[in-house]
Chains A and B, each alone.
Chain A
Amino acid sequence: MTFAVKPLLLVAVLALAACNNPDRYGAAGAGGLGGPGGPGGAGGIDTTGLGNPNDPTSIAFFNQTVGDRVLFAVDERTLTDDDRRVLAAQAQWLLANPAYAAIIEGHADEQGTREYNLGLGASRAAAVQNFLISQGVPANRLRTISYGKERPIKLCSDESCWSVNRRAVTVLSVGAGV
C-alpha cells in the first residue's frame, strides 16, 4: 500500500469575521478609480414638505392633480398620447414653478431579469425626460434614475399589479439644477 502525505499549509486569510459596520469611506483608489465611496444616505434625493394639495404650487398638487407618473405596456418604453398629455401638464407645472427640480424614476415589473429591467427603467425615465425637455423644461432641472424591478408599488404577481409597477415617476425636490 502506497501512502504519501502531502503537507499543505492553509494560509487562512479568512478575514471576514462578521462585520456589520464596515468602513464606509474607503481610501481613495488608484488610477482609474474615483474617490472614496461617497457618503451614505439619500444622496441626490431631498425631502420636502408636500404642502397643501389645494395649493397649485405644492408638490401634493403636482402629484395628485397634475399626475406624477405615466405607465407603460409590457417591455415598452414609448409614450402614448395620454402619457404626453400628463407630461405636458408636468412640463407646464415645472415651468411655472422654477424653484423645483425633478428626478424621474424609471421602473419595471418583476417579469424580467434584473439587469435588463435596469436598462428598461432607464429607457422609460429617459422617454419622460426627453419629452419634458421638448416642452421647454431646462435639462439641468431633470435627472433620471432606474430602479429596474427593485421598487414595485403593488406586490401581487399578476397584471393588475404589474401594470402599475411599469412606471416612470417624476419626483420633485426643491432646488433648481440637480
Chain B
Amino acid sequence: MMSTRETPVWQLLLALLLFLLAPGPALAQEPPRIVIGPGTVEVMPIAVAPFIDEGGAGDYAREITRVVVSNLEGTGFFRNISEEAYISRITSFDGAIAFADWKAINVQVLVTGAVSVAGDRITVKFRAFDVFNGQVLEGAALQFAGTTQSWRRMAHKVSDAVYSTITAEGGYFDSRVVFVSESGPKDARLKRLAVMDYDGANVAYLTDSAALVLAPRFSPTGDRIIFTSYETGFPRITLMDMATLERWTLSDVPGTMTFAPRFSPDGDTVVFSLEQGGNTDIYAMSLSSGRLTQLTNAPSIETAPSFSPDGTQIVFESDRTGSQEIYVMPASGGEGTRISRGEGRYGTPVWSPRGDLIAFTKQHAGRFHIGVMRSDGSEERLLTASFLDEGPTWAPNGRVLMFTRETAGEAGQNALWSVDITGRNLRRVPTEGPASDPAWSPLLP
C-alpha cells in the first residue's frame, strides 16, 4: 500500500522563505555566459541534438550536426553531452521540449536544428535554448539557405551564432585561411598557395609549386590576397583575385626586392618591405593611384608592417638597436616608438582586428614563442613555446591566433597550430601535408 509521509513544518517554512527571497515569480537565472579572458573558465556542458531531416537532407543533417559540435568543442569552452546520455530526444524541430530531461543531464544550452534539401538548395534552421530558463537564447534562432555545396558554411553560421550568443564575442567559424602548402625536403621545399576553411576542411590550391611563394594575406573584404612570389626569379609582391585566380605583380623599382606585404583596413593601400642595396625599409603603395611612399628611412632592417584596424598607425619590426624589436609609427611614416620591452627578439607584429592587442613572435634563449601585448607594449603574455613558432594571424573576432610551428632536425616540417589569446586550447590545425604562413580571412558575408 502506498503510504504518505508528513512534510515536516521546517521544510515548508524553508520553501516559503526561499520563495519570498526569490527575485521574481519564476526562479529566473542569468543566461549561460562564457567570458573569454584570463583566469580559469569552466567548460560549459551543452547538447547539440542531431539535426532533424525535414526532407531530402540525407547525410547533410548528420554532417552539419557533426561540424557544429566540432566547432563548439574546438573552442575549448564547450563539452557536448553525447546522445547516449539523453533522456529524451528531439524528434521534431517545433515540438515541445522536456527541459527537465536536459537539466537532469546537466545540459546548460541545448541546440536543436533541422535541415531540408530541395534540388541543390539547402535550408538549415536552429535554436539554442537556455535549458534552465527554458527559453531561446537571444539571437540564437535563425535560418540559413544556400546551395548544398555551402553546407559547411551553414554549420559554421550556426556555430558562430551559438558561440556569439554565449560569449558575447564575434564569431569566427565561417572564415577561410590562406596558407602555404609545403612538400619536399627542407633544402628543396616546394611551396604553393592554398585556402581552406578555418578548421582545415575544403582545401583548394591557388598556385602550383613552380615558384616559391611566401606569406599570403587577405584583403579586408577577403576577395583578394597579396603575397611574395619568386615567379619572376626575384621576390616580388603579387596580388590574386580569389574568384578568378588572376594575378598581378606590384610595379617594382628595378634592382629592388619587395616582400612582407599587407593591406590597409580600407584595402586601397599595401604596406611592404622594399630592399635596395641591402637595406630594407617600409613603403606604402596606393593601389588606386600607384603612388609609392617611403615610410621608414634607416640603415637597419624594417619589415613586417601591419596596420591598426582604424588605419591610423602601423606596427612593424626593426633591428635598429642591434636586435629585432617592435615599433609603432603613424600610418604616414616616421621613426616610430618602440613598444617591446622584454628580453629576446621580437618580430612579425600583427594588430588585432579589435585594436586592443598586438600578436608577435618572440625569440629568446633558443626558443620561439607566440605572444600578445597591448598596443602600448604593456601586459606582454607568451602563449606558446617551441623550437620554432612564428607568424601569428588573428581570427576575425580577435580571440584566437593561428601560427606556424616547425619541428627541428633534418626531417623538420611546418604545421599550422592555433591557440586562444589566453594561451588555452593549443591545437594543431589539420592539413593534408606540411603547411606554413597562415592568414585568416575576415568573417565571410
Contacts and interface: CB of A to CB of B under 8 A. Distances in A.
A1 B286 contact: no
A37 B231 CA distance: 8
Interface string B361-381: 101000000000000000000
Interface residues of A, number: 75
A38 B273 CA distance: 21
A113 B303 CA distance: 11
A35 B388 contact: no
B145 A7 contact: yes
Given A3-B141, A17-B204, A38-B232, A155 B285 contact: no
B215 A114 contact: yes
A54 B387 CA distance: 44
A49 interface: no
A71 B391 CA distance: 27
Nearest to B346: A113
Contact of B445 (A7, A11, A34, A77): A11
Interface residues of B, number: 95
Contact of B251 (A34, A111, A147, A155): A34
B125 interface: yes
A105 B262 CA distance: 25
A44 to B, nearest CB: 3
Nearest to A32: B290
Nearest to A147: B212
Contacts, number: 242
Contacts of B187: 151-155
B341 interface: no
Counting chain A CB atoms within 10 Å of each CB, which of B185, B208, B242, B257 scores highest? Answer: B257
Contact of A150 (B212, B239, B252, B387): B212
A33 B279 contact: no
B288 A33 contact: no
Interface stretch (A62-70, A80-88, A89-97, A138-146): A138-146
Given A32-B251, A37-B231, A155-B187, A130 B246 contact: no
Interface string A18-36: 1111111011111111111
Interface in A96-153: 110-116, 118-120, 122-127, 129-130, 143-147, 150-153
Interface in A31-67: 31-38, 40-45
